[in-house]
A and B are shown apart, each in its own frame.
Chain A
């Protein structure tokens, strides 16, 4: 059997591939930041790239929706003159895990809803994505299997699976084929390579089991039953409202919009910057009213924005199981623990009766 959608890249040719790609455009890949932390940074060879890494501090969303992004330039010198701005850069992301691919797909869904977000959509078209498969859990915080984000399901141009001394590479788009064409580092995939891939996936299926004791289809019902749960009060006591959980989340996309003039007070720009529902001023409105003054209400909101509201709006969870929120929480608020506590508390309630 020969599948033209697959090629292989010998490990010794990875450096050639990355170097050649980086001469064509900016390439970003996971690199070590010390203390077991990683980040996507620009690379020009494979030297610094970590092929086995736990999710980076910031997800790749930082490239898709920059933390600060100009939307408009304006001048009030002579009436009001405005000029829309779209900032983008052609680049390739290498080594994106399936959880982060799922995250990007969530953002794509959000920003494609009308009125479409052309700043996001234009930039997205300029970013090529090369996925990288995990064969094992990164750490105890991951819950990718619960939301079925541990297996590749699109959202990439090329997808690498590490099979020892070579990668088997799935070509998913024309952009992916063009990368292979341009760098000339790849070889065709043979029968034995597919056998290797099959046994890799078999082993993987044995390793990854749903991390939380609930079937995904019951999760929305669980949340319907738990709005007044005492678990949220417990989170209130713990949460420091530092906003880490949302800032590192691959699917959180809230932003604030700010108009700022230059020193001449005439010319300025409108920009957006990331905001977080966990921060005290987020739900504060004119007059000083704060709709989510309690940390409990803010934490609860975050969980509902992952497991309930997007199910109604986009028919999918906005949790990719990457585990970043749990990993980055100083106060030890862990997603799996919260879900398990909710499940335990609502044990007697409807959703589980007919299990």
Chain B
């Protein structure tokens, strides 16, 4: 079997997810046995002019150039995998959407702000069709392997649509709420094996919110623990601001 041609791309992001791939270790060799990486800016100089069997794309879409570029990548790719929070849910770049775009440009670029056009931050699927999602900031490497295998087989991958608490309980972590710390596990999509909580951190909601969260119930829990709603919303929005975007909104500035 000819190895499928795979390209890695990035938009607005920290390139940390690409680093996760580069840091795979020995398993990377097994992966390279089955795919032919033809473009991957972070680790190689070569470029590819032809089409891609699989495009693996990091980062969110934040300006007109990015829109054009991702559309072009989409046209050239049979399968498109969004990976990392920026690409799948907008991620931290989405925080921009909480501000007026002119104000935010002035804040970042000072008096020359007019030279820097920008748009509301979008996740990839808010601009082009995405076939597979690998959520997380950064991605959880075993999940990328799972998704890659699904893509190569041409079968769907379902991002778990239940709370991080499921994995967290199975890992027998003491619940953060027991420790008096706020955690977004109860409303965040699982699939990371509760990576952060296993290592003593809280869940920041980087994998996005479950499709049918019990908002009223969660508010009751927060009230019980004397946690102000605004405080929580701010924290949720750190990764999840883009979920509020209405499709087709005219937001060029």
Contacts and interface: CB of A to CB of B under 8 A. Distances in A.
B226 interface: no
Contacts of A242: 162-163, 165-166, 169, 185-186
Interface stretch (A91-99, A124-132, A243-251): A243-251
B210 A67 contact: no
B221 interface: yes
Interface in B147-175: 148-149, 152-153, 158, 160-163, 165-166, 169-170, 172, 174-175
5 contacts: A241-B214, A243-B169, A265-B153, A280-B210, A332-B221
Nearest to A248: B169
Contacts of B217: 237-240, 331
B163 A265 contact: no
A281 B162 CA distance: 8
B174 A37 contact: yes
A276 to B, nearest CB: 7
B162 A35 contact: no
B201 interface: no
Q: Most chain-B CB neighbours within 10 Å: which of A57, A237, A274?
A: A57
B178 interface: yes
A34 B174 contact: yes
Given A240-B214, A261-B153, A247 B161 contact: no
Contact of A331 (B146, B172, B220): B220
Highest count of chain A CB atoms <10 Å: which of B31, B33, B166:
B166
A85 to B, nearest CB: 20
Nearest to A57: B172
A263 B186 contact: no
B165 A243 contact: yes
B177 A330 contact: yes
Contact of B221 (A35, A36, A264, A331): A331
Interface string A226-261: 000000000001111111100110000000000011
Given A243-B162, A247-B169, A265-B153, 7 more contacts: A33-B172, A237-B216, A237-B217, A240-B165, A240-B214, A279-B166, A295-B214
B172 A241 contact: no
A260 B170 CA distance: 21
A213 B224 CA distance: 28
Contacts of B218: 240
B33 A240 contact: no
B172 A263 contact: no
A168 interface: no
A269 B247 CA distance: 41
A202 to B, nearest CB: 36
Contacts of B34: 263-265
A71 to B, nearest CB: 18
A43 to B, nearest CB: 15
Contact of A33 (B158, B163, B170, B174): B174
B214 A276 contact: no
